[in-house]
Amino acid sequence: MRRLVPPGAVRMPWADAVPWADSGPLADAGGRAAAGSAAPAGSFGIVGLGRMAQALLLPLIADGVIEPASVRAAVASEASARQLAASLDLAVSTDASQAWRCAAVLLAVKPQQLQAVASFAASLGQLGPAGSSPPLGAGSGAAGPLAAGQPLVGGLPLAAGGERRPLLISVLAGVRLERLQGLFPGWCCVRAVPNTPCLVRQGLTGLAWGADLDPQRRDWVRLLFARVGEVVELPESQLDAFLALTSSGPAFVALVVEALADGAVAAGLPRLQAQHLAHRTLAGTAALLHEGDLHPGQLKDMVSSPAGTTIAGLRELERAGVRSALIEAVLAAAARSRELG
């Protein structure tokens, strides 16, 4: 079987055990997958190539972790497919059947789109891969033959033992593993909560494992997300809180930075300079907190001299309830994440 995995890439050791048709040309002259070609071993499917999936994929491609020719991405609209295929030089289609035939799939649609996406994947399963089932038991380490009438999911036969099951990584806010496993019964499921700073390799990703996820696949997922930032494994019950802080947090912090810059403009600085200085203040403060291993209260007290400028500003922030507003913002985001699931 041909593998499209670049040197130094994060390999999928289970890919050979996931049987599918390995026929047809893998790539056109431009390196992109030819229409109708089967997903090769080591292919990476992406269902929903929006902001979050791109924030993950682009640095992984730039660093050679994922080979563009091995990506089978699906989006909803022809306009997005055309635009992304041209700008990223990837195989992007509105037909998700190729993506669903990969050994690992990143699911990154909106939670509201999940049901439609799952129905499509299930319909593929009933049809079988590319209209014809692969020979059962094909592939090294394959599990035993299937029981008669056992369904196909995502074009891949289900097998007892689990070693032939492909991997589904869902980044959908709030959507529980139990629901994912119900919608995608032939898949090993992982919930991942990445954030957009993954785009600059400063990300944070929370991971919660589905039932029966073997060590091989766990290692693969850890390695993948570690290439774009820090990985935190935590109980699924804590993922909504994790998301509220780390995924919604960049927007909250950006709002604070924007408001600080507005304040500097009100105080007399030119806009561009105020923005630049606000960014640098954020970056410097984050570095000081991190490298100095400081509690935020310690840093605040370090900067606040008696009857000085900083304490005058802090007094205004407390009067306006900024601290409470930020606490409520994180709580609201966590509650919304639970609702979406």
Count residues contacting ligand NAP (CB under 6 A)?
A: 28
Is residue 169 a contact residue for ligand NAP (CB under 6 A)? Answer: no
Count how many Cα atoms sit within 13 Å of the Cα of residue 166 in the half-sphere of its side chain: 30
Residue 47 tokens read as 């269902």
Count how many Cα atoms sit within 13 Å of the Cα of residue 2 in the half-sphere of its side chain: 14
Q: Which H or E element spans position 78?
A: helix 78-88
Closest approach of ligand NAP to the CB of residue 286, in Å: 18
Is residue 50 a contact residue for ligand NAP (CB under 6 A)? Answer: yes
Is residue 285 a contact residue for ligand NAP (CB under 6 A)? Answer: no
Is residue 47 a contact residue for ligand NAP (CB under 6 A)? Answer: yes
Closest to ligand NAP by CB, 40 or 194:
194
Closest to ligand NAP by CB, 116 or 253:
116
Closest approach of ligand NAP to the CB of residue 225, in Å: 12
Task: Choose which of 5, 12, 71, 76 interacts with ligand NAP (CB under 6 A).
Answer: 76
- Residue 166 in contact with residue 187, Cβ under 8 Å? yes
> Who's near 92: CB < 8 A, 6+ residues apart?
49, 73, 74, 75, 80, 81, 84, 85
Sheet holding 104-107, edge to edge: 91-93, 71-74, 44-47, 104-107, 167-170, 188-193, 203-209, 229-233
> Who's near 339: CB < 8 A, 6+ residues apart?
174
Residue nearest to ligand NAP (CB): 50
> Which value, to the nearest 10 degrees, does the dihedral of the CA atoms of residues 139, 26, 166, 57 take?
150
Would you give the binding string for ligand NAP spanning residues 240-269, x where CB under 6 A is met? Answer: -------x----------------------
Q: Applying CB under 6 A, which part among 42-50, 139-147, 272-280, 297-305 lies near ligand NAP?
A: 42-50
Is residue 112 a contact residue for ligand NAP (CB under 6 A)? Answer: no
- Residue 22 in contact with residue 2, Cβ under 8 Å? yes
Which runs of consecutive H residues, i.e. helices, occur in 184-293?
A: 215-226, 239-246, 249-266, 271-291
Is residue 202 a contact residue for ligand NAP (CB under 6 A)? Answer: no
Is residue 96 a contact residue for ligand NAP (CB under 6 A)? Answer: yes
Closest approach of ligand NAP to the CB of residue 171, in Å: 4
Interface with ligand NAP (CB under 6 A): 47-53, 74-77, 80, 96, 108-111, 113, 116-117, 171-173, 193-196, 247
